[in-house]
Amino acid sequence: MHSYVKFARISAKLFSRILNTEKIKASSEKTVSRELLDAINFSGFDLEPYEVQLAAYAGALGLLFIITIVDLAIFVSVPLESNAALLILTSMVLPLAGLIYLSEFPKIYVRFMKVHSLGDIPEITSYLVMSMKLVPNMERAMSFAAENSHRPLAADLRKMIWDLHARVYSSLDEALIAFANLWGKESEYLKRALHIIKSSTNEPDEAQRVMTLNKSLDIVLDGTRTLMEGFAARLRTPTYVLYS
């Protein structure tokens, strides 16, 4: 279990002793953003939105308590007439920063997961293409990729297959669209590649089908290369500034 999930659950349990968490839960469900809900589901955090909210409150209060103790110790031991305002400002900013960070953590974590997993896309696509070249069956190809890859992206593919069998999705096309949309925000080329792989089943002959499948792999490789070049370019300027 992720440490953030443990912290959120402990925070919710502590707050439930002093507050009416049912009201907080109801309010949170009304105001929670779609982005946060998607992030919680994508990350695999077994949390409800109100638990994320209470974790942020607990973290901010904890920071405020610690900083207050430190401030009192500093004021008692060292005269800080000139820097008192700066110390007070810092004491206010840090808990606020903690509140924002903890409330946004699921979204931050998911962005990290997606960027970290972008290199998984060529491997998954290769397995899909390999299977489709042998047997032009999309569901079988997805199962083959999910079974043979141990990347984080494969875990989402396995979940999608499970949801498809559990009738969460009404059809394979709906499941593919949901999977593509989940990852497509950071990798539009994956959406294109999945669409092309699926459309290869409609090709009239094997030669055309193989060409279509190879095209999907080229799209993924070119997209990954372009994305990595973009990351490298964004790192180049700060590096120049740092070492100039």
In a shared domain, residues 85 and 71 = yes
Total domains in the fold of the chain:
2
C-alpha 196/C-alpha 198 separation (Å) is 5
In a shared domain, residues 25 and 92 = yes
Predicted local distance difference test score (pLDDT) of residue 79: 65
Tokens 């390999």 sit at which residue? 130
CA dihedral 205, 211, 217, 223 (to 10 degrees): -130
Cβ 95 vs Cβ 64: under 8 Å: yes
Closest CA to 41 of 98, 109, 134, 136: 109
Predicted local distance difference test score (pLDDT) of residue 241: 63
Q: Which residues, other chains included, contact 12 with Cβ-Cβ below 8 Å and sequence gap of 6+? A: 21, 50, 51, 54, 55
DSSP type of residue 179: H
Q: Check whether 45 has a pLDDT greater than 90.
A: no
In a shared domain, residues 104 and 136 = no
Which of the listed residues 98, 115, 132 is the one where a domain comes to its end? 115
C-alpha 215/C-alpha 217 separation (Å) is 5
Other CB atoms closer than 10 Å to residue 147's CB: what's the count? Answer: 13
Which tens digit of pLDDT belongs to each residue from 103-124? 999 988 888 877 777 778 889 9
Total residue length of the chain: 244
In a shared domain, residues 146 and 223 = yes
Q: Check whether 221 has a pLDDT greater than 80.
A: yes
